[in-house]
């Protein structure tokens, strides 16, 4: 196998071993390097962070541009990288398959396909189409020969479905049967409800911490049976929140208390060393 396939195999192994693991989300090469320096065994990308850092709305990125950035991140770190490939950059199963093929070519070790349409009038894809989209992703992965880890995401909670748990359990079970390796329902924040979803779907579950579930810890999620933890755009938002606070302090007070949180130059030197 080549280096990208080796990373995909390593990523798959993380899901197969006992216990939980944490996969924080980067938005550029520098943030990914800092996360790896902290000791994380895998990183993910955040479409929100990539788009917002470019001064554009989340969800406005185009397939080729997003996969190029994700590929740069994946190639720059030694650990596996999971892609936030949103809804597959298109409605049809073939759109999803094309995005999966592009993600594999870009060196991603895995990626998540969501069932959010982006349309307020019908925010979730019809279940039949959503299942067909996951099946197309699975077929593209199997044809590639790369053990790319497929995550199926449902946005029942984020779109305020009237019965988010029941609908999430129903959809995720269908996506599992369609070939998803990992399941994901962002927006959950209750430990007991998360544990119930783990039991209901019977497959590895990813839970996002940061904007949601602020009172929960990784230990809490391990107790609930969660396999993988991500943070979505939360680290990006935290970093830019610090930038905004520093700007306001300097502008309004003329002080530099914000320098207390500056990154150490030794860390910068380590971060900018050429990859070995």
Residue 276 has pLDDT above 80, yes or no: no
Is residue 145, in this structure, part of any structural domain at all? yes
Is residue 241, in this structure, part of any structural domain at all? no
Is residue 88, in this structure, part of any structural domain at all? yes
Tens-place pLDDT, residues 99-136: 999 999 999 999 999 999 999 999 999 999 999 999 99
Residue linked to tokens 């195999």? 9
- The CATH number that applies at residue 125 is 3.20.20.60
Is residue 172, in this structure, part of any structural domain at all? yes
User: What confidence tier does 267 reach under pLDDT thresholds 50, 70, 90?
Assistant: confident
Residue 266 has pLDDT above 90, yes or no: no
Q: What is the pLDDT of residue 107?
A: 98
**Domain total in the chain:** 1
Is residue 52, in this structure, part of any structural domain at all? yes
How far is CA 161 from its chain centroid?
22
Whole-Å CA distances, 137 to 19, 48, 60, 93, 156: 27, 22, 22, 8, 21
Residue 19 has pLDDT above 90, yes or no: yes
Tens-place pLDDT, residues 180-192: 999 999 999 999 9
Mean pLDDT of the chain: 96
Range of the domain at 128: 3-233
Q: Is there a contact between 25 and 232 (Cβ–Cβ < 8 Å)?
A: yes
Token pair, residue 46, equals 């955040």
pTM of the model: 0.95
Is residue 167, in this structure, part of any structural domain at all? yes
Write down how long the chain is.
276
User: What confidence tier does 3 reach under pLDDT thresholds 50, 70, 90?
Assistant: confident
């Amino acid at each position: 196998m080549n280096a990208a396939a080796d990373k995909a195999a390593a990523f798959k192994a993380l899901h197969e071993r006992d216990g939980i693991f944490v996969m924080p989300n980067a938005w550029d090469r520098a943030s990914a390097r800092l996360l790896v320096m902290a000791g994380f065994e895998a990183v993910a990308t955040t479409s929100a962070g990539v788009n917002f850092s470019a001064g554009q709305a989340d969800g406005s990125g185009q397939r080729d541009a997003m996969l190029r950035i994700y590929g740069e991140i994946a190639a720059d770190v030694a650990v596996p990288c999971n892609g936030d490939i949103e809804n597959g950059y298109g409605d049809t199963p073939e759109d999803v398959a094309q995005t999966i093929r592009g993600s594999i070519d870009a060196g991603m070790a895995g990626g998540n396909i969501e069932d959010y349409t982006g349309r307020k009038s019908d925010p979730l894809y019809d279940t039949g189409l959503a299942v067909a989209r996951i099946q197309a992703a699975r077929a593209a992965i199997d044809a590639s020969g790369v053990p790319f880890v497929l995550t199926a995401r449902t946005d029942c909670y984020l779109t305020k479905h009237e019965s988010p748990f029941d609908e999430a359990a129903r959809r995720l079970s269908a996506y599992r049967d369609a070939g998803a390796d990992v399941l994901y329902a962002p927006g959950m924040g209750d430990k007991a409800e998360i544990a119930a979803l783990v039991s209901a779907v019977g497959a590895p579950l990813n839970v996002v911490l940061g904007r949601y579930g602020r009172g929960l810890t990784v230990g809490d999620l391990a107790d609930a049976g969660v396999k993988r933890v991500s943070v979505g755009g939360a680290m990006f938002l935290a970093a830019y929140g610090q930038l905004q606070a520093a700007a306001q302090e300097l502008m309004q007070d003329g002080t530099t208390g914000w320098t207390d949180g500056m990154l150490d130059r030794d860390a910068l030197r380590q971060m900018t060393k050429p990859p070995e």
